[in-house]
Amino acid sequence: MGKGLFITGTDTEVGKTWVTSVLAAAAARRISLHNAGQGTVLSNPLHLWKPIQSGSQPGDPRADSFRLLRGSGIEQTEEETVTYSLKAPLAPWMAARRAGTLIPWEELLAEGERKLASYPRLLVEGAGGLLVPLTERYTVADLAAAMGLPLLIVARTRLGTVNHTLLTIEAARQRGLRIAGVLLNGYPGDDDLALSETIEMIEQFGSVPVLGVFPQLEEEPVSMEEWEAWRDQWIEIVESRIRMDEIMSFF
């Protein structure tokens, strides 16, 4: 069975897709360098999976599946990356209902099991937060539990994030989910004291490590050349600001 992480957020629009893509880029580079030193070459050192996306379709530059692949540089297709795409920008259960369809839960679980069996390293990006309904009976947390991968929680840096993050941690623990850590995203760089206090509170009350802080994303790339430059820049940021050795231990 494969190793990896299940990435969730404290809310929607916390930057899970960007964080997942740049972590994948940095991890893939590390794995490739290690393998090269061992005389081993893998076409794809890790695999990305977005089980369900809503509000866009593959090929749309706004789609999570598009951004995951452009941001990470991982060589797989959008069709290999996302299993279900829904038009309405809603929780998957409601987006599917509006489309007159259902998310087949057992098929989704089977696809997750196939991914785990097929790829030695897997990064999964959930939809919205941990308790977002995927079907009328199951949430993102249920999918994470079924896959058995540790959670990496992405949270904002602004006021209110301590409460949101601790609630997510509590919900995860109530469901028996293992938590790898927390990543804070979108720090504007204007109050280091408040940031350090936020980290202290999350670590003390949540008993989980804050594994790093991502700065605020300035501008989204457009061309392939811009994406490549963006990727290189963010790999450097990851290596300097994120505790990648600890994250890599889950691979």
Is 223 a member of any domain?
Answer: yes
Is 164 a member of any domain?
Answer: yes
The 8-class DSSP code of residue 216 comes to P
Catalytically active residues, by annotation: 50
Number of structural domains, the chain? 1
Contact 128, 11 (CB under 8 A): yes
Q: Is 212 helix (H, G, I), strand (E, B) or coil?
A: strand
Is 76 a member of any domain?
Answer: no
Q: Is 159 a known ligand-binding residue?
A: no
pLDDT for res 40:
61
Q: What is the pLDDT of residues 195-234, one digit of tens each?
A: 999 999 999 999 999 999 999 877 677 788 888 888 999 9
Quote the pTM value.
0.94
Strand ranges of the sheet holding 210-215, from the earlier edge strand across to the other edge:
82-86, 47-54, 121-129, 3-9, 151-156, 179-187, 210-215
Is 37 a member of any domain?
Answer: yes
Is 230 a member of any domain?
Answer: yes
Is 122 a member of any domain?
Answer: yes
Q: Is 204 a known ligand-binding residue?
A: no
pLDDT for res 178:
97
Q: What is the CATH number of the domain that holds 213?
A: 3.40.50.300
List the domain range (segments joined by +) for residue 28.
3-44+104-248
pLDDT for res 38:
65
Task: Establish how many alpha carbons lie within 13 A of residue 41's alpha carbon, considering only the half-sphere containing its beta carbon.
Answer: 1
Strands (DSSP E) found in the chain: 3-9, 47-54, 82-86, 121-129, 151-156, 179-187, 210-215
pLDDT for res 41:
57
Q: Is 125 a known ligand-binding residue?
A: yes
Residue 198: strand pairing partners: none
Q: Is 219 a known ligand-binding residue?
A: yes
Is 181 a member of any domain?
Answer: yes
pLDDT for res 189:
87
Q: Is 240 a known ligand-binding residue?
A: no
Q: Is 217 a known ligand-binding residue?
A: yes
Is 71 a member of any domain?
Answer: no
Q: Is 198 a known ligand-binding residue?
A: no
Task: Enumerate residue ranges in the chain where pLDDT < 50.
Answer: none
pLDDT for res 114:
97
Q: Is 150 a known ligand-binding residue?
A: no
